[in-house]
């Protein structure tokens, strides 16, 4: 079985290395880059687009996502769980400032009032979940991490700066097929009507996610981000009773570091294997209740790990 979606990632990497503009960057390492890129991955049937042409650090992917969802501005949770990927950007007290998760869960809102300024906090994650549940056709299922007022307080400004969800109605026929595979099916007698589907809590919508990035480290960061947003979409799907369908990546400055080219060239020679499946604990119905052991990745096979140095 050919994994065309991972092959498209490898083709993008090859194109950047072959035709990208040579650019000096903030880190001083140097890159080749293209601007305005796109990749798409299917999330159907529990698919998790976890790259197979190199071994991925799944523990770090899951813990980082759970850390984002906690809305914290320090890395204590990560360090307590043996994840060091944010150490380079933390200060001596383990603070990284109001980065991704902080903006997702605690976006500061200022309102002038008669005797001064009132500060409240917006929980964008809870808001988008309620929006998907209550108004699935809305065009406002969007979360932003790019808060211009806080950029100078961040250890690293957001690379993946926004993501948006899109709901698409599931046909009546497909809902009936889902019903036939559900626990309610053996107990049902007679013709299946829409009311029976609703009573059995059969989903009414597919859920897709598009995440946008301003700066993309193709070898090291992008595979991590793809898996992370796929996991988040599966989690949101479970919480909102929707069926994950697609993950779309849109990239700005999409680059390969000069010291990553040898490893990435080796990776591009490898044949992509089928993506694994993600199984979530079905009992979790609140985004804040997910724990590390609620994630089970099934059928993950990969080629050996490739070391890519981090450009700080």
Active site residues: 159
In three-state secondary structure terms, 95 is strand
| Pairing state between β 205-217 and 243-257 | parallel
CB atoms within 10 A of CB 95: 17
Q: 208-227: b or e for each residue (b if 16 or more CB lie within 10 Å)?
A: bbbbbbebbbbbbbbbbbbb
Paired tokens of 172: 């009546």
* 256 close to 264: Cβ distance less than 8 angstroms: yes
User: What is the total residue count of the chain?
Assistant: 312
Q: 21-32: b or e for each residue (b if 16 or more CB lie within 10 Å)?
A: eeeeeeeeeebb
Q: 101-129: b or e for each residue (b if 16 or more CB lie within 10 Å)?
A: bbbbbbbeeeeeeeeeeeeeeeebbeebb
**Angle CA 105–111–114, to nearest 5:** 150
| Pairing state between β 21-23 and 31-42 | antiparallel
* 221 close to 311: Cβ distance less than 8 angstroms: no
* C-alpha–C-alpha distance, residues 160 and 172, integer Å: 36
Taking each helix axis from N to C end, the angle separating 221-240 and 58-70, rounded to the nearest 10 degrees, works out to 60
Beta bridge partners, 206, equal 168, 243
């Amino acid at each position: 079985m050919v994994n065309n979606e991972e092959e498209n990632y490898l083709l993008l990497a090859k194109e950047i290395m072959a035709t990208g503009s040579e650019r000096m960057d903030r880190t001083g390492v140097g890159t080749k880059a293209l601007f305005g890129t796109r990749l798409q991955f299917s999330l159907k049937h529990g698919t998790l687009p976890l790259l197979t042409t190199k071994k991925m650090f799944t523990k770090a992917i899951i813990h980082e996502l759970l850390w984002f969802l906690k809305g914290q501005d320090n890395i204590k949770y990560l360090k307590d769980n043996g994840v060091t990927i944010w150490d380079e950007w933390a200060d001596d007290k383990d603070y990284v400032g109001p980065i991704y998760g902080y903006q997702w869960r605690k976006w500061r809102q200022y309102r002038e009032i008669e005797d001064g300024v009132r500060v409240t906090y917006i929980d964008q994650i809870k808001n988008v979940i309620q929006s998907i549940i209550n108004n699935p056709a809305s065009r406002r299922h969007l979360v932003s991490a790019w808060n211009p007022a806080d950029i100078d307080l961040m250890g690293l400004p957001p690379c993946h700066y926004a993501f948006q969800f899109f709901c698409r109605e599931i046909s009546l026929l497909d809902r009936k097929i889902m019903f036939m595979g559900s626990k309610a099916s053996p107990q049902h007698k007679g013709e299946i009507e829409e009311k029976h589907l609703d009573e059995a809590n059969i989903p009414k919508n597919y859920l897709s996610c598009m995440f946008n990035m301003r700066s993309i480290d193709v070898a090291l960061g992008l595979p991590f981000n793809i898996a992370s947003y796929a996991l988040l979409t599966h989690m949101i799907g479970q919480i909102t009773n929707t069926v994950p369908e697609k993950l779309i990546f849109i990239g700005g400055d999409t680059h390969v570091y000069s010291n990553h080219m040898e490893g990435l060239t080796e990776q591009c020679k490898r044949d992509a294997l089928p993506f694994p499946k993600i199984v979530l604990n079905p009992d979790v119905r609140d985004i804040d209740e997910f724990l590390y052991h609620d994630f089970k990745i099934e059928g993950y096979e990969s080629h050996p790990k490739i070391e890519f140095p981090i450009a700080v």
